Structure 1
Amino acid sequence: MYKDKDPRAAIFAAASTPPRTGLIAEEQLAEFDKTPPQEDAEGRKIWYQRGCNFVLAYAEAQPGAAFARTAQPDEYVLLLPDSPAVIEANGETVTVAANSIAFVPPGNSRVTLPQGGRFVRLFTSASSDLVALCPNAGAYAAGRSHIPHFAAWPEPVGGFKIRTYSLDVAPQEGRFGRIFRCTTFMVNFLDVQKGPRDPKKLSPHHHDDFEQCSLALGGSFTHHLRWPWTVDRGDWREDRHIAVGSPSSLVIPPPVIHTTEASGPETNALVDIFCPPRLDFSLQDGWVLNEADYPMPESS
């Protein structure tokens, strides 16, 4: 399944067989580059998309635009691929450079983009007001019995506060991407692909019981999806090959076999998002770059 020493090979070699039946769901696609935003006011354009446990908010801001949260129930994520920001939360103010990821504590907070630009926020579905803004808000009305109920990971060492990390991290042999986690999410900034991916070196795999959200921030991609044949023919689907530009986002349901192929001629930038964090990646030595700040559950 994996070629050229893919760091994930050992993980997925031990993965269980896909569930037998009754667990198939549709993918959730959002093409922010081709659709109007759900909010467009006060120098802010925001597009929303939901997964089973989370809401992704992609935003484009004019200089000085601010984004506030009041009584936020849990920790959320801020991705700043190319714009700096000022974060205020619970009496604390932090200036964050571009090419960073930040984790914002529960409670009241405010994010301002002094120079404008684009950024992404990630919330759990506990933010019901944001779930309601998603064009696919009803996609999970029937529930997903095979995806466990969301449970936050332990509080960070030293308690909740604004935490920021640079994405300027060089690739390392044996490490998969640039992975960060908090109490609610795991985010993996994959190494940038220059030009198209070699079609002879793809990495099809599946997940038994959690979704993967693949966020395209630069270039273009083709998401290849294959629904396994279960004993129930109602679960079967034709293979799908979904070509997207950027920005866009695809939520891939379990246990769909999937791999993503970069297709752009120049820089292709992809981010994988999981809610809650993945235990298997967390157990790999040195993969999670901020693991000293965010402990794993005791049961692990």
Structure 2
Amino acid sequence: MLPRPASYADHSTTPPDLEAPGAKTWITRGANLVIAVSDVTAGTVLARDEQPDEYMVFMAAGAATIQAGDESIVAAAETLTIVPPGASRVTAASDARVVRVFSPRAGDLAARACNAGVYADGAPECAPIVPWPTPPDGFRLRQYVPLAYEKPETNMRIFRSTNLMVNVMTRRDGPRDPTKLSPHSHDDFEQCSVVLEGDYVHHLRWPWTPDQTTWRDDEHVTIGAPSVTVIPAKVVHTSNNVGPKRSWLLDVFAPPRMDFSKKPGMVLNAADYPVPAEG
């Protein structure tokens, strides 16, 4: 089976996939995830009435109040909140840019994704989401401030839930050294990159098969903020920010990555979410 095409969603050049009073939302999906990026005005509510599993809310700009059940939490800019299953509301306290990360069980959003047709076959090349163990203290609102963690050895700030994993990269104030890129691929899961600031070039190389007529040319796609790029499984890829602008990127995976989770200290909220038993 040939890897499917990549999806590039540049929100600066395309209309929103969902528009309501006070909110414009761009939706992009992958095999196991749905990314909804919303530009909202103060007072706007982003509601989920019967969300069947956890989702994540990253405040790229502005602030909001997040409610779930009897709980409520203030979400300032640059915070990451994991929202439990059930009914929930994100109410903007100011004009804001809200990045929400769901599994495809948010079927209403998955169906509205700009690239929904790319996944009409169900993406059998990707391992399905099998929920990881429930947190010992149960499902509840959990909030983190990724950029407050001091980790001078890496620019990665990784968090997981039972179904998703987000890597909030630290900002780059200058272009990435082109002699120190990191081309790699993933056998059975995708990588989704959300550009929050600046401009990036995503470099993709599809594997060759014995049938030369199926070979794809390499892709080197420049894309700015805000945007979402979904990189298929098995495709060699790397990215670098370019130009003088400050740059900022989120990477999203689903299900959570076991390779990252096995490295001590790499997942910053590992104490909240146990890994599955092996065997």
- Give the TM-score normalised by the residue count of structure 1: 0.89
Question: How far apart are the structure 2 equivalents of 1:33 and 1:157?
Answer: 42
Match of 1:143, SS state, is: coil
Question: How far apart are the structure 2 equivalents of 1:158 and 1:171?
Answer: 26
Regions of 4+ moved over 6 Å: none
Q: Summarize the Cα distance change of 1:230–1:117 in structure 2 as closer, same or farther, 3 Å threshold.
A: same
Question: How far apart are the structure 2 equivalents of 1:272 and 1:282?
Answer: 15
Question: How far apart are the structure 2 equivalents of 1:288 and 1:152?
Answer: 17
Aligned length: 279
Question: How far apart are the structure 2 equivalents of 1:221 and 1:261?
Answer: 5
Equivalent AA in structure 1 for residue 114 of structure 2? P
Query: Equivalent residue for 2:135?
Result: 156
Query: Equivalent residue for 1:90?
Result: 69
Q: Summarize the Cα distance change of 1:170–1:126 in structure 2 as closer, same or farther, 3 Å threshold.
A: closer
Question: How far apart are the structure 2 equivalents of 1:176 and 1:232?
Answer: 40
Query: Equivalent residue for 1:270?
Result: 249
Match of 1:281, SS state, is: helix
Q: How does 1:1-300 map to 2 (within 5 A)?
A: 22-175=1-154, 177-299=156-278
Question: How far apart are the structure 1 equivalents of 2:147 and 2:220?
Answer: 32
1:14-63 C-alpha deviation (Å, 9 max, x unpaired): xxxxxxxx141100111111111122222111111110111110000011
1:159-192 C-alpha deviation (Å, 9 max, x unpaired): 0001000123355244451011111111001121
Greater shift in the superposed pair: 109-118 or 172-181: 172-181
Question: How far apart are the structure 2 equivalents of 1:28 and 1:279?
Answer: 25
Q: Summarize the Cα distance change of 1:116–1:297 in structure 2 as closer, same or farther, 3 Å threshold.
A: same
Question: How far apart are the structure 1 equivalents of 2:55 and 2:170?
Answer: 23
Question: How far apart are the structure 2 equivalents of 1:141 and 1:36?
Answer: 22
Question: How far apart are the structure 2 equivalents of 1:160 and 1:298?
Answer: 19
Q: Summarize the Cα distance change of 1:170–1:72 in structure 2 as closer, same or farther, 3 Å threshold.
A: closer
Contact 1:169 1:178 in 2 (8 A): no
Contact 1:219 1:246 in 2 (8 A): yes
- The share of aligned pairs that are identical, in percent, is 45
RMSD of Structure 2 on Structure 1 (CA): 1.4
Question: How far apart are the structure 1 equivalents of 2:105 and 2:69?
Answer: 19
Equivalent AA in structure 2 for residue 108 of structure 1? A
Contact 1:105 1:160 in 2 (8 A): yes
Match of 2:167, SS state, is: strand
Greater shift in the superposed pair: 198-207 or 166-175: 166-175
Contact 1:217 1:247 in 2 (8 A): yes
Following TM superposition, by how much is the alpha carbon of 1:109 offset from its aligned partner in structure 2, in angstroms? Answer: 0.5
Equivalent AA in structure 1 for residue 127 of structure 2? P
Question: How far apart are the structure 2 equivalents of 1:183 and 1:264?
Answer: 37
Question: How far apart are the structure 2 equivalents of 1:128 and 1:141?
Answer: 13
- Give the TM-score normalised by the residue count of structure 2: 0.96
Question: How far apart are the structure 1 equivalents of 2:14 and 2:154?
Answer: 36
